[in-house]
Amino acid sequence: HWTDQFSAKGRLDTLTAPLTDPISGQPALKHVAARIEKFAAKAFGFAVTRHRPSPDAAAYWAVAKCKGGWRVELAFAEDDIDWAGFAGSLFGASPGAEMLAYHDCDAGQHRIAAFDGDQLSGALFVAPGPVAVSRGWAAEQLSADHVDRRGRLAIVAGRPGGVDVDRGAIVCSCFGVGANQIVEAVRRGCGSVAAIGAALHAGTNCGSCRAEIRVIIEAQSLQAAE
């Protein structure tokens, strides 16, 4: 049910014959034999960009819209890539953009950020395994002003600096409350879903996140007991 619009390898029907039932129109992809094997990626990447990217150099990519731009998941068949060149092409930054980068070639770690004025054009994080960067926090940087160098270096580091807090994965979409915020509230003494709602408003609107909030509370309680 996916198209080529948001993912390089997202269409299941590239593996199946274009057959449909002559009466119902039911596609044959619902009933077909297939042999699959794991794709052994040599490098993984995550990026946020202000403009929609065209990551065609990656063996696998999937893009999704976020506030202020786009977020991209990447996987590469090779790791001997000009990462700075790839990042520049991915971001579509202007020729005068400021580029900041961190490279640890032995560890396979690369982090590159580009800035047009006070705005982040894009940031790319590369690692030999799945990239351990908070997706929500990184995406938020597209809408923030980055005047001082310390804040810009925090993006290259992949985590907020100073008193800034990484909200973590969003649990309550209604109020934008992240898992890290809920964990911190539990540590401060919020021991129930109702208490979390009173402190953070999470779970007090549509309520679909209450079960997940309860799981976080129970996990923290178990950890404290141990």
**Residue position matching structure tokens 């993912």:** 7
Distance of CA 15 to the CA centre of its chain: 27
Contacts 24+ apart (CB under 8 A), 159-168: 159/133, 159/134, 166/134, 166/136, 166/137, 167/134, 167/136, 167/137, 168/134, 168/136, 168/137
Domain boundaries, the chain: 12-28+38-157, 170-225
Nearest to 47 by CA among 84, 74, 80: 74
Token duo for residue 15? 């593996």
Q: Which CATH architecture has domain 170-225?
A: Orthogonal Bundle (1.10)
Per-residue pLDDT at 223 = 77
**Residue position matching structure tokens 């923030």:** 144
Which whole-number Å values give the CA distances from 15 to 10, 18, 25, 225, in the listed order? Answer: 11, 9, 18, 50
Residues with pLDDT less than 50, the chain = 163
* Alpha helices, H only, the chain: 83-91, 135-140, 149-157, 179-187, 193-200, 210-225
Per-residue pLDDT at 13 = 67
Alpha carbon distance 45, 188 (integer Å): 35
Nearest to 184 by CA among 211, 217, 141, 144: 217
pTM of the model: 0.74
Per-residue pLDDT at 1 = 54
Per-residue pLDDT at 3 = 74
Alpha carbon distance 103, 108 (integer Å): 8
Per-residue pLDDT at 56 = 86
